[in-house]
Amino acid sequence: MLLRVASVLALVVLLVLGRVTWAQSTATVSEATQTLTITIDGTLGPILAGSDPIGANGQSGTVTIMASESLSPTKHTGSSATYTLPAGAITADVGGVIFTSTSPCKMTIKLGKTADTLTLIFASSIDGFSFTITDTTAVAPGSWTTAVLEHPGVFSPSPQTLTAAESASGPGSKFKYIFEGTATVLGVTGTASSSADADPDLPDEDLDQ
């Protein structure tokens, strides 16, 4: 009889501890899930290299990135981190033409003495034509803390004014696209902003109904 009571008590303790552990785990996940949004909004031009076959020079452009702040880098150095984002995480609107990443894409943040740099590389397809796009955004040095080398995060201040690169290989903000094997590079002037919002808590489904 005593053995049976002891067994029941042990089972109750395990169940209670299991519920507490699950609650703690759920709270930790809930608190950690935030989505980072970075928006680059401006004008493309001048042409720094290439023939610009899609006529992007002088067009307005917006690049939007969404990434989970819980991501870990797939590659990093002492001053940079590269994150792999899922398909659809990056969208570029160039004069009303929408380029959306169609496969896993790269986001690299590099901390520097003269500028912190955000580089995006992604592939897109429009009407059967393939594009590879590299967007480089230079913000003020110290905009990101070193915490960004472990997980994506916002930069500050936000928004910031962007200065266009003066050469295809030089510093500054620029937009590069490769179409049918030919690369075009354009400067970018405008603003960059960042924000982070907690992912919404979805309601539990009432299984009794």
Q: What is the pLDDT of residue 10?
A: 40
Hey, what's the torsion of the CAs at 20, 25, 26, 29, to 10 degrees? Answer: 160
Is it the case that residue 3 has pLDDT exceeding 90?
Answer: no
Beta pairing partners, 109: 81, 118
Q: What is the pLDDT of residue 206?
A: 52
Is it the case that residue 28 has pLDDT exceeding 70?
Answer: no
Domain positions in the chain are 35-192
CA distance 153 to 145: 9
Q: How many residues does the chain have?
A: 209
Q: pLDDT digit string (tens) for 143-183?
A: 999 999 999 999 999 999 999 999 999 999 999 999 999 99
Tell me which of 2-6, 76-80, 106-110, 119-123 is least confident: 2-6
pTM confidence score:
0.81
Instruction: State the chain's mean pLDDT as an integer.
Output: 86
Cβ atoms of 188 and 162 closer than 8 Å: yes
Cβ atoms of 170 and 132 closer than 8 Å: no
Local confidence band at 204 (pLDDT 50, 70, 90 cut-offs): low
Cβ atoms of 172 and 138 closer than 8 Å: yes
Q: pLDDT digit string (tens) for 56-98?
A: 999 999 999 999 999 999 999 999 999 999 999 999 999 999 9
Q: What is the pLDDT of residue 103?
A: 97
CA distance 74 to 14: 38
